[in-house]
Each structure stands twice: as structure tokens, then as C-alpha cells.
């Protein structure tokens, strides 16, 4: 399961002001500090690249000219400009019209939009102490700025008047939907509350912005601090020479010459656990992972979790909802928490039953191995699962995942796999360019050429892990498509692949390959956008719909024509043997009980935190106990399969996916139905690709999400059966 894409600011800075990054930093715009613009950075003003649109192709950011000192000045001036624009709209003596109110709002905040788009993207991909401080300093100011706009009574009165008379305005469908969305956003932000309630809403928003920023920074800091130091090479038995060299290099970079460092990913599970033979070291790594955010150190997140969830519940109550999940889900495709619970509860029993059967097989393998060695057996633990499941996979399918890596060289996967599939399916092509500046040397930049030969977009690929980069994989936008603004997309994909020693090829795991295809599905959603208004651009769709197109794109990873084009031995050029791929396919449902259970554990934890009122939530000291009980209550307390994320490092739900982590599996239902439709209708053809692009991907949020799905599938409603079959959870076949 991939991390969600990073919500990116909309070109209209009003929408930008309400966006939050996955890590919880508020991608918004402040007001209180606007008056100190001159004092904040006079030296950054004359040459500040954010004060005008970039002159580079498609307004590609001027990374070579952007300096950290430019951000504060651009934030301050951008906020001041937008507040002035908003005041002019709100106080316009003319009667409200679509053009002088809604379109004017879409056009507001250009300086702010440019600055925040770059800042929050860089804060995720290549942060530093200056950027961390800016993020902390501006989070509450951004929240205040958002409130200054959304809680402006005169502005809301104009929007409300347009909403109430919308059927008489003669608007096209996209413009009509924009009026409705603006009205809904303002109401959900508290515009209809009385003054006392608005005051409390402002206090809550400001505090949550600060808490979200601190949580995200704590997570990144402790991921780095929790890296496991290993004294000897012998302890690393099972890792490849390249992995051991990378661990030595990581240690050296931290001043630990002669030692080895195993760095952590943000997930509970850690990749080296599938290879390391040293059980004690596996246990150390696992415990270092699961204890993050709850160790009582300076990065302990338990107090933040407790306060944040209570504030969310209080905010929802102010808006008339019984709990935060009810508020959050009201404008998603799921609609309400009951629908989410029904789906999760339908999946959980089968998933856990499968996981327990898998665990029994692993225990039997452990017992047999220990008996053969004449040593006492031991009980399967969470840190043993990956190691023994790889052994069992090999025994069952004569397949070792490491056999694939020589055929999965990163650049070939990208250019001969991901790009090749996009060319075959959509008719687009790619050309690497080296003349544009980069924010980090370990990135690649490509022009994307449309089916008619015109430039469609610019694509940035950022594959490698580094200490300054948050964990996971995601897509973001630096520039979004909009016919109103005449803009075309500049989008980026990010992964956290371990960089090999100099001169060595980057060889991927199969999961890293499917992640690359997945994230490019998000990129396509952004690049194919063909809407008028920035509000609807690209991936600006309901949270439980946004993963759907990216999951569909994963289908090409093992599509025979695509695989044959990229899966070639990095030294000999020999194609991946058909027998090896057959083993991969045969093992595709192996360990699916584990994979689904760890995901559902996290998804159900998310709902448990957000489906209760504030007085039912725990204090900081009881956060971990609350989590344990929540898993037990829903039957997911199988200790050897912990949740994919524990609450204290669950960045999704402290950020933009609060009450929304279910969205991956919800989207996968749509994905499984769509993949079945594509397969049934000829597979990798331009006809199918053009249909998916024109009827769904190009529409962004300009139409109802489920209507887009039904339009593509010919009016069919989604069924859960294709998902159950894909994940091996179909009880009919058991």
C-alpha cells in the first residue's frame, strides 16, 4: 500500500489556504503577519522569484534562484495581496455575480500560491532546519489567514446569494458545480456560525495547525534518530554486499566509521527484516520501529495525538456533527461512517482468518527448522514474519524475491516500463531534459509530449531516500492545469529507494516497481487534467477517490508486453525468464492475509480515533492503551501482524487523511472493477486509454466522482467481488 499523494495547494490561494500536507503541515496562508512584510526580508525582495510567474517553460520553478530567505517575504506579501483582493470582492458595491465573486476568488492569491506550492513540496522532499522553522512559524499564521477568508461574513453573504440563486445564473455544469463547492467549503469552515463560535473555531484551527506541524517534524526526526546501529558485519548476514555497503556509508555519514546503520521507513514493517538472519537484530529493528513517537523523549507524539483528536471532535461538534468522522466523510464518496464500517467489517474477518492460517504455516516452518538443527523452537513474533514468509514463499513457489532484482533496474523500469505503458495506452511520449534547474541532484526531469505533438506537462522524478526527505511515496504538483489561468501541469513523483554505492546500478524490489507505476498513475491524473477552474484541477477529487486512478495504473507492471520491454538483466540485457514471472504470478496472493490485516488495522484505528466524541477520547498517558483496546474490539489484535502504522507515527491521519485512511481499500474496489473492465475490453489499447483519459482522468473534480466511474464503465456500479478475488479473500474459493 502506498502513501497518499501529498495534497498540493490549489492555484487559487483560497483553496490553497485550506489544504494540508500529508504530514499535517497547513498549506495555508497567514494574515496576522502581513504588516511586517518589509521587516521580514527586505534583502529577499528585489530578486524574489515568487513575486512574478516563473519565466521557465510551463512556469517550472526557478530552483536555482530560490533561496530559503525568499519564502517569508513571499508568504507575507502574498497574504497581504490576497487579503486585499478578498476585501475588494467582499466589499464590491455591485451585486454578486459569478464573475465578480467566484472567478475573482479563483484568481486571487497568485504570489502566495507560487510560494506555498514550492515551499511545502520542498519541505517534504528536501527539508532543513530553516524550512522546519518556517513551517512551525507560519502554520498558525496560515491558519489565521484561512479563517480571515472563510469566516468573512460579507464574502460568505455573496457566495450564499449566488448559491441560492444558482439555478437562474445560466452557468455551464462546471461553473455551477464550482458555486456549490465554494458554498459547501465555506459552511464546513464555519462561515454560518455565530461570532462566539467563529472565535472558538479560529482558536481550534490555529492550535491544530501548530500541532500538525510539530507531529510531522517529530516523525521525521525520530525516523532518523531511531536508526539502528550495528557493530559488526557478521550481524548483517542475509543482506547483500550492496546493502551492507549502504549501511556502512549511512554510518559513516553520521560519524560512526566502522559501524553500520539500518535506517527506518515510516511504516511499522522494515524491509531488512525479510533478509536478516540474526533474530536479535530483527527484534531490535522492529521494536525501534513500533516504539517511535511513544518513547517519552522529545519526539513523543502521544500528547499531540490526544489533543489533536479532541480538537477535531470539538470542531465537528461546532459544525453540527456528532464526531469528526461524520464531518469528514460527509463530502466523500462514502458519505458516512456507517458505509465505511460496513466495508471494513466485511473485509476484516476474512483477512484475519487468512493471516492466522499464514501464521500457522510460518510457525510450522520454524518448528521444523529448529528441530532439524536440534535446537528448541520459539514462538513466531512480528519481527520473524517477513523473514520466514520469504522462506515459505521460496519453498512453496521455488521463488526468491531477490531473483527479480537483477531484471529491475530503476531507469529501465521508469523509461521502458512506466513511460512505455503510458505511450501505448495514451499515446503520450517523454523526453529527458537537462537544461532546467533541480532542487536536488538526484532528480530527473522530462518533457511530456501529448498525442497531438504538443507539450502536455513537465514531469520530475525523485526516487532516492535521504534524511531530508519524508518517508513513503507520493505525487505532488508545482503548477496545476487551468484553462482560466492558461497553465499546464508540472508534477513530481517521489519514492524512498535506497541509493546504491557510487557506480552500482539501482535494482528494485517488485514492490518498488509497483509503487513506481502507482505514483505515476497520480501523475497522469494531474497531467491529463483539462478543466477551467484551478479548484477542480488534477487530483482535486474526494480523498476516497484519489487513489483509484493510481491503483489502476499498477496493472501495467506485470502486463506481458510492458514487462517484456523493461524487465531485462542489467548486465546481460537478457529478458526476465517467463518461468520467473510465472512464479511471481503464482505467488501473487501469498501473504495476502498479512498485507490486508496490517492495512485494516491502521484503517480501523483511524476510524476509532475519529468516530467518537471528545469526552470519549483518551489523555496522552492512555493513547497506546486506547490503540490496543481498539484493535481488540474489532478483532484485529493478532500481535504478530501489527497495524501498518501505529498512531504515534501515523502521519496520514494527523494530516490530510484524518478519518480517511480507508480510502485506499475503498478506491481499490473501484480499481478492481475498472481493471476487470479494461481486461474484458481488450487491455492495453489506445481506445481504452483514450476512454479512461477523456471520461475520467481529464475531468479532475469538475464532476461527481462516482458519475465519472459509471461513465467509464458504461453505467455499472462497483462490486466488491473483484477485490475479494484479487486479494484472495473470496470465501467462495476457500
Angstrom distances, CA of residue 96 to CA of 86, 91, 103, 531, 539: 13, 10, 11, 24, 29
| Residue pointed to by grid coordinates 474477518 | 349
Cα 118 from Cα 70, distance rounded (Å): 11
Cα 610 from Cα 654, distance rounded (Å): 11
User: Of 519, 547, 554, 668, which residue is the catalytic one?
Assistant: 519
Cα 703 from Cα 174, distance rounded (Å): 7
- Helix axes of 195-225 and 129-150: crossing angle, nearest 10 degrees: 160
Cα 320 from Cα 716, distance rounded (Å): 35
Relative to beta strand 490-497, strand 455-464 is parallel
Contacts 24+ apart (CB under 8 A), 677-686: 677/712, 677/713, 677/714, 677/716, 678/552, 678/555, 683/559, 684/421, 684/424, 684/425, 684/556, 684/559, 684/561, 684/562, 685/425, 686/424, 686/425, 686/426, 686/427
Residue 427, helix vs strand vs coil:
coil
Of the candidates 388, 381, 270, 266, the residue with the CA atom closest to the CA atom of residue 638 = 381
| Residue pointed to by grid coordinates 449566488 | 162
519: annotated active-site residue = yes
Cα 174 from Cα 159, distance rounded (Å): 16
3-state helix, strand, coil in the chain (%, to 5): 60, 5, 35
Beta bridge partners of 234: none
Please, are residues 612 and 313 in contact by the beta-carbon 8 Å criterion? yes
Of the candidates 667, 633, 647, the residue with the CA atom closest to the CA atom of residue 551 = 667
Please, are residues 365 and 648 in contact by the beta-carbon 8 Å criterion? no
Cα 566 from Cα 411, distance rounded (Å): 9
**Joined grid coordinates for residue 684:** 492495453
Please, are residues 106 and 534 in contact by the beta-carbon 8 Å criterion? yes
Cα 177 from Cα 162, distance rounded (Å): 12
In the sheet with 455-464, reading across from the earlier edge strand, the strands are: 429-432, 444-449, 455-464, 490-497, 474-479
List, by residue number, the catalytic residues. 519
Amino acid at each position: 500500500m502506498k502513501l497518499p499523494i501529498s495534497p498540493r495547494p490549489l492555484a487559487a490561494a483560497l483553496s490553497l489556504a485550506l489544504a494540508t500536507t500529508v504530514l499535517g503541515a497547513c498549506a495555508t496562508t497567514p494574515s496576522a503577519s502581513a504588516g511586517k512584510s518589509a521587516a521580514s526580508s527586505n534583502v529577499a525582495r528585489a530578486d524574489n522569484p515568487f513575486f512574478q510567474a516563473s519565466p521557465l517553460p510551463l512556469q517550472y520553478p526557478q530552483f536555482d534562484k530560490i533561496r530559503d530567505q525568499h519564502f517569508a517575504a513571499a508568504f507575507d506579501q502574498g497574504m497581504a495581496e490576497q487579503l486585499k483582493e478578498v476585501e475588494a470582492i467582499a466589499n464590491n458595491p455591485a451585486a454578486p455575480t459569478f464573475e465578480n465573486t467566484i472567478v475573482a476568488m479563483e484568481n486571487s492569491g497568485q504570489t502566495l500560491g507560487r510560494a506555498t506550492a514550492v515551499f511545502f513540496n520542498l519541505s517534504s522532499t528536501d527539508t532543513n532546519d530553516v524550512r522546519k522553522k518556517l513551517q512551525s512559524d507560519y502554520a498558525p499564521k496560515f491558519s489565521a489567514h484561512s479563517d480571515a477568508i472563510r469566516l468573512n461574513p460579507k464574502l460568505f453573504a455573496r457566495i450564499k446569494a449566488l448559491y441560492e440563486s444558482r439555478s437562474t445564473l445560466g452557468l455551464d455544469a462546471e461553473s455551477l458545480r464550482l458555486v456549490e463547492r465554494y458554498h459547501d467549503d465555506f459552511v464546513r469552515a464555519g462561515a454560518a456560525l455565530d461570532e462566539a463560535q467563529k472565535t472558538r473555531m479560529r482558536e481550534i484551527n490555529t492550535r491544530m495547525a501548530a500541532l500538525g506541524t510539530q507531529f510531522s517534524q517529530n516523525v521525521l526526526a525520530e525516523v532518523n534518530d531511531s536508526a539502528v546501529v550495528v557493530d559488526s558485519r557478521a550481524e548483517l548476514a542475509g543482506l547483500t554486499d550492496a546493502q551492507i555497503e549502504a549501511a556502512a556509508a549511512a554510518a559513516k555519514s553520521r560519524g560512526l566509521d566502522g559501524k553500520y546503520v539500518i535506517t527506518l521507513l515510516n511504516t511499522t514493517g522494515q524491509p531488512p527484516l525479510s533478509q536478516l538472519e540474526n533474530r536479535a537484530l530483527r527484534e531490535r529493528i522492529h521494536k525501534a520501529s513500533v516504539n517511535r513517537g511513544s518513547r517519552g523523549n522529545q519526539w513523543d507524539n502521544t500528547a499531540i495525538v490526544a489533543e489533536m483528536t479532541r480538537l477535531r471532535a470539538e470542531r465537528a461538534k461546532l459544525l453540527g456533527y456528532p464526531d469528526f468522522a461524520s464531518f469528514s466523510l460527509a463530502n466523500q464518496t462514502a458519505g458516512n461512517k456507517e458505509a465505511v464500517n460496513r466495508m471494513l467489517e466485511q473485509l476484516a474477518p476474512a483477512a484475519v482468518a487468512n493471516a492466522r492460517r499464514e501464521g500457522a504455516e510460518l510457525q510450522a516452518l520454524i518448528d521444523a527448522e529448529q528441530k532439524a538443527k536440534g535446537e528448541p523452537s520459539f514462538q513466531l513474533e512480528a519481527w520473524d514474519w517477513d523473514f520466514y514468509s520469504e522462506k515459505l514463499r521460496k519453498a512453496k513457489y521455488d521463488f526468491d524475491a531477490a531473483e527479480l532484482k537483477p531484471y529491475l533496474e530503476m531507469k529501465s523500469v521508469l523509461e521502458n516500463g512506466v513511460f512505455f505503458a503510458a505511450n501505448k495506452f495514451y499515446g503520450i511520449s517523454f523526453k529527458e531534459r537537462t537544461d532546467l534547474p533541480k532542487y536536488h541532484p538526484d532528480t530527473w526531469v522530462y518533457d511530456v509530449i501529448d498525442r497531438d505533438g504538443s507539450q502536455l506537462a513537465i514531469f520530475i522524478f525523485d526516487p532516492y531516500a535521504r534524511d531530508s526527505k519524508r518517508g513513503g511515496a507520493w505525487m505532488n504538483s508545482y503548477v496545476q492545469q487551468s484553462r482560466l489561468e492558461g497553465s499546464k501541469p508540472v508534477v513530481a513523483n517521489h519514492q524512498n529507494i535506497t541509493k546504491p554505492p557510487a557506480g552500482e546500478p539501482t535494482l528494485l524490489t517488485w514492490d518498488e516497481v509497483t509503487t513506481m507505476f502507482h505514483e505515476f498513475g497520480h501523475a497522469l491524473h494531474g497531467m491529463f487534467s483539462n478543466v477551467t477552474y484551478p479548484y477542480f484541477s488534477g487530483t482535486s477529487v474526494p480523498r476516497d477517490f484519489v487513489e483509484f486512478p493510481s491503483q489502476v495504473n499498477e496493472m501495467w507492471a506485470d502486463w506481458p508486453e510492458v514487462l517484456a520491454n523493461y524487465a531485462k538483466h542489467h548486465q546481460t540485457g537478457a529478458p526476465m525468464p517467463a518461468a520467473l514471472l510465472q512464479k511471481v504470478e503464482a505467488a501473487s496472493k501469498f501473504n495476502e492475509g498479512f498485507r490486508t490485516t496490517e492495512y485494516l488495522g491502521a484503517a480501523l484505528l483511524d476510524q476509532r480515533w475519529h468516530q467518537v466524541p471528545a469526552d470519549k477520547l483518551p489523555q496522552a498517558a492512555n493513547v497506546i492503551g486506547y490503540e490496543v483496546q481498539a484493535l481488540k474490539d474489532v478483532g484485529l489484535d493478532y500481535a504478530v501482524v501489527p497495524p501498518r502504522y501505529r498512531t504515534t507515527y501515523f502521519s496520514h491521519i494527523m494530516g490530510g487523511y484524518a478519518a480517511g485512511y480507508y480510502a485506499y481499500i475503498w478506491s481499490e474496489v473501484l480499481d478492481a472493477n475498472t481493471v476487470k473492465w479494461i481486461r474484458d475490453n481488450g487491455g492495453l489499447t489506445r481506445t481504452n486509454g483514450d476512454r479512461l483519459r477523456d471520461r475520467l482522468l481529464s475531468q479532475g473534480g469538475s464532476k461527481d466522482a462516482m458519475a465519472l466511474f459509471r461513465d467509464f464503465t458504461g453505467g455499472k456500479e462497483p462490486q466488491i467481488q473483484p477485490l475479494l478475488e484479487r486479494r484472495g479473500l473470496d470465501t467462495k474459493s476457500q
